[in-house]
Amino acid sequence: MPLRQPYPPIEPHEQGMLDVGDGQRIYWEVSGNPTGKPVVFLHGGPGGGTVPAHRQFFDPEAYRIVLFDQRGCGRSVPHVADGADLSANTTEYLLADIETLRRRLGIGRWQVFGGSWGSTLALAYAQRHPHRITELVLRGIFLLRRSEIDWYYNGGAGQLFPELWERFLEPLTGAPEDEHPVDTYHRLLHSPDPDVALRAAVAWSTWEGATSALLPAPERVAETSDPRFALAFARIENHYFRNRGFLEEGQLLRDAGRLRTVPGVIVQGRYDVVCPATSAWELHKAWPGSDFVVVDDAGHAANEPGITHHLLEATDRFR
């Protein structure tokens, strides 16, 4: 059977800037069928932002497609690359923003779609508000446990990409040997010297860009090396990871039982180095309503052919 291709590009028919308090205004848009089944797309990172291609995971005749940029990134303001304060940027604030947007759009229940950090946020939101969820479609499961942070930022993944890991470590020259790389990067990303901060941001961002797909994706590395993108992405992501996502250790797995009435699909690349498959498998076992799909020729990225195919199969199934 041939692999499914994304739906054709579409434009939003409604968009705006939502004031969520704390001096924050988040960009949102709606595309597809204005009276269709609501779905909200939760982007990765944190700090990644949305792009037009994200609309193409959904049948535009069936779905009312909601995208938004989380605090401090994408088209939301103030932007972290412009020096936005991160004190009002936590998981609690983001969960509240999702609810504020849902009410603004007059939606009672919606499907929630998220990958990587988007899966983290989707799980936290669904466990808080299961009555607001019709289904979950998740990819590249990230439970934000200490072991997952250590794997990717303290040498585990570096064993598979030694030359890329060496580049990731370059800005850390001279750091205390017992300091976790995430903590060292925090100091560098907030250095008063803008050149130091930018060098660290690009190194952090391109490490993820270069290791996300099973096969090399130079265009993704180029995107993640853009200074404005890298500064927001690295600072926000580091802020969340340094604070363990503002979650209790193991919380999302512990509270998976709250999803007992929520159906869903987990799509996981077998060779996902960013978010290894063990987390997806553990979530599936703890969440009886989930279907588990492993893509044997894929890594972490949503645009890898097998990952895209199964995400489209899932959204078509639930439309």
Q: Is the pLDDT of residue 158 over 80?
A: yes
300 has catalytic annotation: yes
| Distances from the Cα of 139 to the Cα of 121, 134, 242, 244, 311, angstroms | 12, 17, 23, 20, 8
116 has catalytic annotation: yes
**Residue 39 neighbours by CB distance under 10 Å:** 26
* Spans of all domains in the chain: 14-146+246-318, 149-244
Task: Identify the active-site residue in 43, 54, 69, 116.
Answer: 116
- Coil, strand or helix: which one is 110? strand
Token pair belonging to 291: 């279907």
pLDDT tier at 178, thresholds 50, 70, 90:
confident
Q: Is the pLDDT of residue 175 over 90?
A: no
Helices 227-242 and 181-189 meet at what angle, rounded to 10? Answer: 130
d(Cα 207, Cα 291) in Å, to the nearest integer? 31
Q: Count CA within 13 A, CB hemisphere, residue 92.
A: 8
**pLDDT tens profile 229-245:** 999 999 999 999 999 99
Task: Identify the active-site residue in 284, 300, 309, 310.
Answer: 300
Q: Which residue has the tokens 């919606």?
A: 110
Residues 6+ apart with CB under 8 A from 127: 252, 255, 256, 258, 259
Task: Identify the active-site residue in 59, 69, 97, 272.
Answer: 272
β-pairing verdict for 63-68 and 264-269: unpaired
Token pair belonging to 16: 């705006």
Q: Is the pLDDT of residue 1 over 80?
A: no
Mean pLDDT score, 179-187: 97
287 φ, ψ (degrees, to nearest 5) = -120, 95
212 has catalytic annotation: no
Residue 105: per-residue pLDDT: 98
Mean pLDDT of the chain: 97
**pLDDT tens profile 3-12:** 999 999 999 9
Q: Is the pLDDT of residue 165 over 80?
A: yes
- Coil, strand or helix: which one is 64? strand
**pLDDT tens profile 74-88:** 999 999 999 999 999
d(Cα 287, Cα 314) in Å, to the nearest integer? 17
Mean pLDDT score, 93-106: 98
Percent of the chain with pLDDT over 90: 97
DSSP string, 284-303: HHH-TTEEEEEETT--S-TT
Residue 38: per-residue pLDDT: 99
d(Cα 147, Cα 237) in Å, to the nearest integer? 16
- Coil, strand or helix: which one is 193? coil
Cα angle vertex 61, ends 109, 27, to 5°?
60
Residues 6+ apart with CB under 8 A from 21: none
Across the beta sheet with 14-21, the strand order is 14-21, 24-32, 63-68, 37-42, 110-115, 133-139, 264-269, 290-295
**pLDDT tens profile 207-223:** 999 999 999 999 999 99
Q: Fold for domain 14-146+246-318?
A: Rossmann fold (3.40.50)
pLDDT tier at 177, thresholds 50, 70, 90:
confident
Q: Which residue has the tokens 């800005």?
A: 171
Residue 116: per-residue pLDDT: 98
Q: Is the pLDDT of residue 34 over 90?
A: yes
